[in-house]
A = this chain, B = another copy of it.
Amino acid sequence: MDDPDVQDDNRKFTRESAEFRREALILATLDLIAEMGVRGATVREIAARANVTQGLIRHYFSSKEELVQAAYEHHMNTLTDQTAASSGKGSAVSQLTNFVDASLRPPIVDPSAVALWAGFLNKVQHDPKMQRIHQQTYNYFRDHLETLIVAALHETGRAVAASAAKQLAIACNAVIDGLWLEGGALPDAFSEGQLAQIGLDSVGAIVGIPLTKEVEQS
């Protein structure tokens, strides 16, 4: 009688794990903020997109505020995880090259990602908890960049003072951020690979090491 594959489905809903539901709600929130701004991310829209009713949001998050915070943290972790994995494990110079290159291509460069970031910015400036997350992400990214720069300089036989290294990291980070921003805000203004090319040239000029992304072949 009961074929377990075919649900007769007079069931009106299914119970899912807490993790599954939390993630679904967070992803729906991110989608909506990127698409319509914080304003468009209402509890009802979020619930609809996560295929639940709005009451469930407050079952998993004590307020919408908390959901937004969780969504922000998730977004930032995703971004950093994606870039951190991109360096590979060749020479220091090639690691730096790969890192810059990956930071300036999809999926990092993406209108939705920039829209998301912008949508959160106001909350970041007011909510201390979100400020902490922001600061954390920024430092993580910049420190990683600084490590790569120092290693690359060392590899090419140049020493650099700690304070100078930090300044270089700030500058390179700024180029990357600026290009990332413009690529996301004006998606049609740049051809594919153009941002990455400009980024490599600029970072190369700033640290004094020509960076070229060779097409790895054979």
Contact yes or no, A36 B185, CB < 8 A: no
Question: A94 at the A/B interface (Cβ < 8 Å)?
Answer: no
Chain B residue numbers with a CB within 8 Å of A134 are 185-186
Contact A171-B202, Cβ < 8 Å, known A115-B122, A182-B177, A186-B138: yes
User: Contact at A174–B185, with CB atoms within 8 Å?
Assistant: no
Most buried by B among A118, A170, A178: A178
Chain A interface bracket (under 10, 10 to 19, 20 to 34, 35 or more):
35 or more
Across chains A and B, which 10 residue pairs bring their CB atoms closest together, nearest first? Answer: A178-B178, A174-B178, A37-B122, A177-B178, A118-B121, A118-B118, A171-B202, A174-B179, A205-B205, A205-B206
Do A111 and B125 contact each other (CB < 8 Å), given the known contacts A170-B198, A175-B202, A178-B178?
A: yes
Q: Are A115 and B125 in contact (CB under 8 A)?
A: yes
| A114 beta carbon closer than 8 Å to chain B | yes
CB distance from A54 to the nearest CB of B (A): 19
Kindly provide the distance from the CB of A150 to the nearest chain B CB, expressed in whole angstroms: 17
Chain B residue nearest in CB terms to A174: B178
Q: Which residues of B contact A211 (CB under 8 A)?
A: none
**Complex Cα–Cα for A114 and B189 (A):** 22
